[in-house]
Chains A and B, each alone.
Chain A
């Protein structure tokens, strides 16, 4: 017998505003709304509602709102309703709990406890509306040997580099976990912005090969969709060793999201759960990683940077140091808040460390060992705003990956039900009728708007600090101050507390 679990949220309809037009019914893939013939009115079943806000946004008369249910168990500071419901669900099903998107729990957000500096008197702020302000970055190895030609001119001996117009990229989200239209929006936006998007582990749809110059392709433990042409098409190749949302395990794509096209692109059977292995079965140690890096470099003629993506775990600094010595051009670190299309809840909510701390330690460690120049560092895992980008760069990042923020730009309302495949916003679904709700012509424009707006804000903050090139911000930790942080936190972040002098 299944225990009934009351809905966490209730659909509230303003009867006076509702015209019974039925838009809500047509928009809800969860079947919440329906027309009640007996009363001649629209009614809602809140138990089916995931609170994605699609109906609220689409209702032409704004007759709908979703409120937190005031139904409650006997209050208990130790056993929350959420915890109790999870026990009921597992007793009902016998299954592992699945969740989507990043860890929503109440852990500290260090970016929010870091403040930026600005120039006053002794050093002028620079006005980005009137002076040039540079946000372009090159990612790749900088440990260059100076060589000259017979005329004494410098020769460019640098390893391959990725040029970004602004230090932001779209992080790995696979075709399968998100829709064709979502991928098209990301690809077109990356191309227009002069940045990169990332295929995740789902392969690359043939239609998107034309965006190859702005595409990072992933090689993950399942090797889904990996073949010579796939590698050849990309601007860079990312070896996914781990993901912030689920360190220590592989990817999950529920079978109901594996359509014909997804199956073809991934080179896996249709309709069957695709669960990639926890480790790469050819990488059981660091020296094996080196072999895969050089295998891919050989396969692509040493023309493309290789990114190694790792999850932020306790020993991240030492791991990053090992990766830096293994031939990787770029290390991507994904913090424990990072998003996902599907992850076991317990893993997502309990494994890994905050990206701010991981970044600070990795950057410091690579410098201590004198090898910061042999890799670029890209960070991910809840970069919420342009301010977070600025803080990450000042802590030592070369660039940031954003995933959730990009999906929000496409309409996502963080209902965290991606794994059900019924995304009403046409993002995390493969159902044709839902996918078409996301118009890539509009979607890509919204992504371009978001990154353009953030870039403007980054320039404003840089200018305020008297910095007119993002290079001069990287690792410039004197520009940061912690507020409300304890000594250990400050030490790990390598910053001073607010109020302490330069």
Chain B
């Protein structure tokens, strides 16, 4: 577990911290890649929705040369924790490339931890002996590092994607990681955080990631403990106590374990009201009633707007009452999602279409057939 040096203040995971936020995403459905410059401008426009206590990005398609390897991004407190982690990694993975993360000095970004990146894949003998599938194995190793190695935290672990985050305003974090120069992806998501009190912890910034899944979230869910206590039955451990973390686990469980589609998942976590379901077609009624009856404890209640990123697409979803703003827009092959319209207009003033999806209505943008992942 990695912690900043903040004296007596409680750390993320020791307290639950409510926060407001801004979220934003861009995807080029043709698969064409572009730098993080646009997403930085988008989230920067919504500067007032953040308070400088956390910002971050996820980029998809950014590591084409290493796309078959898991890309681990790590925060370290010091060289001891790095040494200990690398020993662990060497025991469990074949590391094909590693380096310190390239960053630039940016005013306002302080208390910077040591940041490293590794491209790796599981040692086949270890993997076979574990009796787990490859993804389970990777998740388990990530959890072990995060829970047990003092001063180390894996904050990104997917293939051909990466999460970049820290304490500061999101636009400064973006520049800090050189997202506007060094990386090109077909999809980007961004997050600016407005916690009401903060341990100022780099690992606590968003997006939250698990393998190639990333979540940026604006809101404060009122169902937190109901969701947490349920999902922890299935082997997840909500150690950060953030909404984002529990939402990620819920989606991961429904996709990987229960094999539901993203649309079905939306009907679980942001279920239609019973009265609305009553008015739907027989097929929809049957499906949505079943999902609500089967997964009542995974209904996520209270205000949220989330952008779920994965290899090949992004999904935007609001809570059932739409208690947080979120707009979607399209221009040719490009699709945009943002907390506010200004976050889209600033990078694309002329749009083919812009609309505000209803509460509980998922908006899913995926790469076209021809678009490469």
Contacts and interface: CB of A to CB of B under 8 A. Distances in A.
Interface string A186-203: 000000000000000000
B155 to A, nearest CB: 23
A498 to B, nearest CB: 16
Interface string A156-200: 101001000000000000000000000000000000000000000
Interface stretch (A29-37, A121-129, A245-253, A379-387): A121-129
Nearest to B224: A478
A138 interface: yes
A467 B222 contact: yes
A390 B255 CA distance: 32
Contacts of A367: 229-230, 232-233
Interface string B312-335: 000000001101000000000000
Interface-central residue, A136, A161, A472, A477, by most chain B CB under 10 Å: A472
Contact of B259 (A146, A467, A472): A146
Interface residues of B, number: 49
Q: How large is the interface on A (under 10, 10 to 19, 20 to 34, 35 or more residues)?
A: 35 or more
B355 interface: no
Given A126-B321, A467-B223, A473-B226, A154 B291 contact: yes
B302 interface: yes
Contacts of A501: 10, 15-16
B360 to A, nearest CB: 12
Contacts of A138: 293, 296
A501 B271 CA distance: 29
Given A468-B321, A477-B229, A146 B258 contact: yes
Contacts of A25: none
Given A372-B233, A466-B302, A467-B302, A144 B296 contact: no
A104 interface: no
B274 A136 contact: yes
Nearest to A477: B225
A153 B293 contact: no
Contact of A144 (B15, B222, B225, B294): B294
A153 B285 CA distance: 12
B224 A132 contact: no
A175 to B, nearest CB: 32
B294 A465 contact: no
A142 B296 contact: yes
Interface in B263-320: 264, 271, 273-275, 283, 286-287, 289-297, 299-303, 320
A471 interface: yes
A165 to B, nearest CB: 10
B260 interface: yes
A370 interface: yes
Nearest to A367: B233
A98 B1 CA distance: 61
B225 A475 contact: yes
Interface in A110-142: 119, 122-124, 126, 131-132, 134, 136-138, 142
A142 B294 contact: yes
A75 interface: no
A359 to B, nearest CB: 14
A89 interface: no
Contacts of A137: 296
A11 B47 CA distance: 75
Contact of A469 (B224, B286, B301): B301
A122 B220 contact: yes
Contact of B223 (A122, A153, A158, A476): A476
Interface in A454-480: 465-469, 471-479
B18 A154 contact: no
A100 B294 CA distance: 40
Interface string A315-358: 00000000000000000000000000000000000000000000
Interface of B: 10, 15-20, 196, 219-220, 222-227, 229-230, 232-234, 258-260, 264, 271, 273-275, 283, 286-287, 289-297, 299-303, 320-321, 323
Given A123-B219, A466-B303, 7 more contacts: A144-B294, A154-B264, A154-B286, A468-B320, A469-B301, A475-B225, A502-B15
